Amino acid sequence: MSDLLWPGDDRAGDLFTDASVLAAFVRVEAAWLEALVTHAVAVPAAADDLAGLIGPDDVPAVAAGAESGGNPLIPLLALLRRRLQARNPSAAAWLHKGLTSQDVVDTGLVLCLVEAAARIGDDLEHQIAALVRLAGGHRDTAMAGRTLTQHAVPITFGLKAASWLTGVLDARDRLAGAALLPVQIGGAAGSLAAPVALAGSPAAAQALVATTAARLGLPARDPWHTARAPLTGMAAALVTCTDAWGRIANDVLVAARPEVHELSEGPVAGRGGSSAMPNKQNPVLSVLIRRAALAGPLLAATVHAGAASAVDERPDGGWHVEWSALRTLARRTVVAGAQTAELLDGLRVETAWMTANLATARPGIDAEQLSITPDAATDTPYRGATDEIIDAAIARARGSRC
């Protein structure tokens, strides 16, 4: 999968592609079938891991058939049953028994989101390590602080990097909690009616759900057919990541202006050029990260809108609108995470320009200091709790990994 109009999309690879989504659906069906056999609900002969039955070449047929039933699982099941019948008739007879489309679609999306969260988590840790180096290494690199686009008071670049670090740490913690996505199995109307009928009791049906969840590496919980907090929570966590990265990209974009020149992206052959102006070296990574930060909230809002419009025991459109929004948001966040890690690794801190710009900002930038301590010399450090703030952010970063 590649999106020509979202440069960098290839960084997400096979994550959340149509083929990987179908594979996730098949994983859910296989885990449920295994649970039925394990708990002696299905006959032993029904055991089958469903391997090799569906592949990337089946995407066009499933996509074409999805409109008839409103979701891609229905045509996928038809293919699975037909192919499974030739290999294992018992498994074909028990396939999907006790489940409904929403169970498989929801849980399949969860599997894809968990994979995305793991990728993003790795990049967050990479970013954190880079930011710890920047914050500690530049704790004494003086520069002009700016508020509302104007000079404010002197700060250090280490303090700015510590602020970036705090945002990334907040994103890491938010993502770690949201990524504990549970299995979603409830049957046709969220009551587990069919699983109870098959297994013989509510406890036995819940055991089927627990075994399926364990097979998929997911937590088990009661059905959440129309209580969509797991997905809205993940969407919000993804946007928390792009918010943090967008803030970093914005600072780099401002500081990379030729008249400021305090930061610059690391040079990469062929990157940042212009089709018409050979003099330019555009900060492309920062531009693309900012793009993701601007787009993310709108995609998350779609997921929230779907949750807010939930009705009855399966929403009429509110459920369906989640799928593409989650996929797009997840892929774009993965891409932005990788770009931010690369940006921070190669970031150039132009300390001479920071010193020169701070000197140019004087004496106005020292006005607050002089209003509070009029007898102080303008070269007296006006750092407040800079060291303590930097140390606290670094200490937090060196705590437990998410």
Active-site residue set = 274, 314
Nearest to 291 by CA among 8, 12, 16: 8
Distance, in Å, from the CA atom of 248 to the CA atom of 161, rounded to the nearest integer, reads: 9
| Length in residues, the chain | 402
Nearest to 109 by CA among 387, 323, 391: 323
Identify the bridge partners of residue 264 per DSSP, sorted by sequence position: 348
- Read off the tokens for 6: 């979202």
Question: H or E stretch including 144?
Answer: strand 142-147
Based on its alpha-carbon atoms, the radius of gyration of the chain, rounded to whole angstroms, reads: 26
Distance, in Å, from the CA atom of 142 to the CA atom of 145, rounded to the nearest integer, reads: 9
How do strand 348-349 and strand 263-264 relate by DSSP bridges? Answer: antiparallel
The residue type of 293 is A
Vertex 222 angle, CA 70 and 93, to 5°:
55
Q: What is the dihedral sign for C-alpha 99, 103, 107, 108? A: positive
240 in Cβ contact with 171 (< 8 Å): yes
Identify the bridge partners of residue 144 per DSSP, sorted by sequence position: 154
The residue type of 335 is V
Distance, in Å, from the CA atom of 225 to the CA atom of 192, rounded to the nearest integer, reads: 11
Distance, in Å, from the CA atom of 260 to the CA atom of 275, rounded to the nearest integer, reads: 24
The pair phi, psi for residue 154, each rounded to 5°, is -65, 140
Residues with Cβ within 8 Å of residue 73, at least 6 apart in sequence? 25, 101, 104, 105
75 in Cβ contact with 62 (< 8 Å): yes
Identify the bridge partners of residue 154 per DSSP, sorted by sequence position: 144
